[in-house]
Structure 1
Amino acid sequence: MKANIMVVDDERTIRDSVQMVLQEEGYTTEVAANGKEAIELLKERDFDIVITDLKMPEMDGISLVKHLQKQCPQTLIIIITAHGSLETAIEALRSGAYDYILKPFDFDDVLIKVKRIVKHKELLLENQALRAAVQEKYDFSKIVGQSEQMQEVFSLIRKVAKTKGNVLITGNSGTGKELVARAIHYNSERASKPFVAINCGAIVDTLMESEFFGHKKGSFTGAVRDKDGHFKMANGGTLFLDEIGDIPLHLQVKLLRAIEESEILPVGGTTPIKIDVRIIAATNRNLMEEVEAGRFRDDLYYRLNVVGIRLPSLNERREDIPLLVQHFIEKYNRQLNTNVRNTDNETMRILMNYNWKGGIRELENVIERALILCESDYITKKDLPPNMISEEFTPDIPDRLKDAIAQFERSHITKILKRTGNNKEEAAKLLDISLSSLYRKIDELTIKPSSSI
Structure 2
Amino acid sequence: MSHHVLVVDDEAKLCDLLVSALSTDTLLVSTAGNGLQALAVLERQAIDLVISDWRMPGMDGPQLLAEIKSRYPRLPVIVMTAYSTVKNAVASMRNGAYDYIAKPFDIDELDVTVHKALQYADVLRDNQRLRDELQARQPIASLVGESPAFQRVLTAIDSVRESSATILLTGESGTGKEMVARAIHRHGSRADQPFVAVNCAAIPEGLLESEMFGHRKGAFTGAISDRVGRFVQADKGTLFLDEVGDMPLPLQAKILRALQERVIEPVGESHERRVDVRVIAATNKDLLKAVADKTFREDLYYRLNVFPIPLPALRDRVEDIATLAAHFARTAGADAGKRIAGFSDEALQAMLAYPWPGNIRELQNCVERATIVASGAQIEQADLPGYLFGSAPVRQSAGLLASAEMAVPDDLDASLAELEKAFILAALQQSHGVQAAAAQRLGISERSFWYRLKKLGIQVEKIAH
Smaller-chain TM-score range? 0.5 to 0.7
Alignment of 1:309-348 (within 5 A): 309-348=309-348
**For residues 265 and 90 of structure 1, do their structure 2 counterparts lie closer, same or farther at Cα, with a shift above 3 Å needed?**
closer
What is aligned with 1:252?
252
Q: Deviations over 1:219-245 (max 9, x none)?
A: 111111211110111111110000000
CA–CA separation in structure 1 for the residues paired with 2:357 and 2:282: 19
**For residues 276 and 386 of structure 1, do their structure 2 counterparts lie closer, same or farther at Cα, with a shift above 3 Å needed?**
same
Q: Deviations over 1:127-184 (max 9, x none)?
A: x9xx99xx9xx96222110000111111111111111110000011111101111111
**Aligned amino acid, residue 358 of structure 2:** G
Over aligned residue pairs, what C-alpha RMSD do you find?
3.6
Measure how far apart 1:76 and its partner are: 13
What is aligned with 2:372?
372
What is aligned with 2:229?
229
**Aligned amino acid, residue 335 of structure 1:** D
What is aligned with 1:186?
186
What is aligned with 1:215?
215
**For residues 349 and 250 of structure 1, do their structure 2 counterparts lie closer, same or farther at Cα, with a shift above 3 Å needed?**
same
What is aligned with 1:359?
359
Q: Deviations over 1:352-398 (max 9, x none)?
A: 010201111111111111111212232111111122233699xxxxx
Q: Deviations over 1:308-353 (max 9, x none)?
A: 0011011110010010111011111211111221111111111001
**Aligned amino acid, residue 225 of structure 1:** S
Q: Deviations over 1:229-270 (max 9, x none)?
A: 101111111100000001111111111011111100111110
What is aligned with 1:86?
84
In the alignment, structure 1 segments of 5+ residues that lack a partner are 1-72, 101-127, 394-453
Q: Deviations over 1:42-65 (max 9, x none)?
A: xxxxxxxxxxxxxxxxxxxxxxxx
What is aligned with 1:34?
none
**For residues 371 and 264 of structure 1, do their structure 2 counterparts lie closer, same or farther at Cα, with a shift above 3 Å needed?**
same
CA–CA separation in structure 2 for the residues paired with 1:154 and 1:376: 35
CA–CA separation in structure 2 for the residues paired with 1:361 and 1:98: 53
CA–CA separation in structure 1 for the residues paired with 2:325 and 2:89: 60
Give the number of aligned pairs: 289
1:159 matched to 2:159? The reply is yes
What is aligned with 2:303?
303
TM-score normalised per structure 2: 0.57
* Identity among equivalent pairs (%): 44
TM-score normalised per structure 1: 0.58
Contact 1:139 1:183 in 2 (8 A): no
Alignment of 1:25-424 (within 5 A): 85-86=83-84, 96-97=98-99, 140-390=140-390
**For residues 86 and 324 of structure 1, do their structure 2 counterparts lie closer, same or farther at Cα, with a shift above 3 Å needed?**
same
CA–CA separation in structure 1 for the residues paired with 2:272 and 2:315: 47
What is aligned with 1:440?
none
CA–CA separation in structure 1 for the residues paired with 2:101 and 2:376: 61
In the alignment, structure 2 segments of 5+ residues that lack a partner are 1-73, 103-127, 394-465
Measure how far apart 1:98 and its partner are: 6.8
CA–CA separation in structure 2 for the residues paired with 1:315 and 1:248: 32
Measure how far apart 1:96 and its partner are: 3.1
CA–CA separation in structure 2 for the residues paired with 1:346 and 1:99: 72
Contact 1:197 1:240 in 2 (8 A): yes
**Aligned amino acid, residue 242 of structure 2:** D
**For residues 90 and 374 of structure 1, do their structure 2 counterparts lie closer, same or farther at Cα, with a shift above 3 Å needed?**
closer
Measure how far apart 1:85 and its partner are: 3.5
**Aligned amino acid, residue 165 of structure 1:** A
Deviation above 6 Å: which 4+ runs of structure 1? 73-79, 87-95
